[in-house]
Amino acid sequence: MDIQFDFTGKKVVIFGGTTGINFGIAEAFAARGAAVVVVSRKRANVDAAIEKLDAYGVPVGGFVADVRDMRSVEEVFESIRAEWGAIDVLISGAAGNFLAEASALSSNGFKVVVDIDLNGTFHVMRAGLDYLAPGASVINITAPQASIPVRYQAHVCAAKAGVDQLTRVLALEWGAKGIRVNAIAPGPIAGTEGMARLTPHDDGAAIESVPLGRLGTKDDVAGLAMFLSSSAARYISGAIIPCDGGGSGESVLQIQEAGRFLAAAAAAQQ
């Protein structure tokens, strides 16, 4: 990367930060001097993330919490204040996803994704506000499904659309406090749980669908998160920024293909 970010002395907290794209963001900040705290449900994921982040020689912390549970999110912030002080960068990226036709989705199946992605993001924002440092950068991780309708993704499309609007409203309300609130919408990012779940039978067409000719990397998303948290982005707030190689629309077609494949497979089994 030809831009030299330096986050020495900054405190970065990432909900859903123990694996995948969000962990990639955690590593990028740690590699540039930030103290990094990651949070997710599974103790094993938290412990593994802490072990890897320790290698960067920066202060590292981890907490087990479920973003669906407001009290557990509040407890994380209370612990962080006691140990770490005010937060400079707060990222909300916990999410759940699976392919399911809306007509086959139970009430709880729809609810679980809305609870994690949308209500969870609200919990992180609402509970986190009082713990932010002046001039803090807040970033929500959204998805192209927020604006592009995708078959078998009714739950995710609805939840992430809510995340986008929440981001815009909080940017309006928190701007006067000097807090910037933005969102990143990753495209297809290689080697992630999201891609494994949504394009399990990818034949390479996903790559061809991206104008820049490759899947994204976790570093691509991390670069945008660092930019948004740097002084170079000091006048950017309320923005939903794709990080997708220019190909959100086309790459989402691949998700549709995966859905068709799974539906055909299920039909063949009956």
Q: Smallest Cα–Cα separation from 92: which of 158, 147, 166?
A: 166
Pull the structure tokens for residue 220. 């691509």
Q: What Cα–Cα distance (Å) separates residue 48 from each residue in 19, 59, 67, 84, 257?
A: 9, 15, 19, 21, 34
Choose which of 5, 12, 13, 21 interacts with ligand NAP (CB under 6 A): 21
Considering the complex, what minimum distance in angstroms separates the CB of residue 80 from ligand NAP?
15
Q: Which of residues 195-224 bind ligand HXC (CB under 6 A)?
A: 195, 197-198
Choose which of 28, 45, 152, 226 interacts with ligand NAP (CB under 6 A): 45
Counting contacts by CB under 6 A, is residue 186 touching ligand NAP? yes
Per partner kind, with CB cut-offs from 5 to 8 A, the member of ligand NAP, ligand HXC, none near residue 109 is ligand HXC
Q: Which of residues 37-96 bind ligand HXC (CB under 6 A)?
A: 95-96
Per partner kind, with CB cut-offs from 5 to 8 A, the member of ligand NAP, ligand HXC, none near residue 141 is ligand NAP
Name the residue nearer to ligand HXC (CB basis): 109 or 238: 109
**What's the number of CA atoms in the CB half-sphere (13 Å) around residue 119?**
14
**What's the number of CA atoms in the CB half-sphere (13 Å) around residue 52?**
17
Counting contacts by CB under 6 A, is residue 67 touching ligand NAP? yes
Report the residue number whose CB is nearest to ligand HXC.
96
Q: Smallest Cα–Cα separation from 179: which of 230, 136, 130?
A: 136
Cα gap 244→143, rounded to integer Å: 10
Choose which of 26, 30, 116, 150 interacts with ligand NAP (CB under 6 A): 116
Q: What Cα–Cα distance (Å) separates residue 239 from each residue in 141, 142, 161?
A: 12, 11, 13
Is the sign of the CA dihedral 101, 206, 45, 161 positive or negative? negative
Choose which of 6, 42, 78, 173 interacts with ligand NAP (CB under 6 A): 42
Site for ligand HXC, rule CB under 6 A: 95-98, 100, 106, 108-109, 112-113, 143, 156, 188, 193-195, 197-198, 255
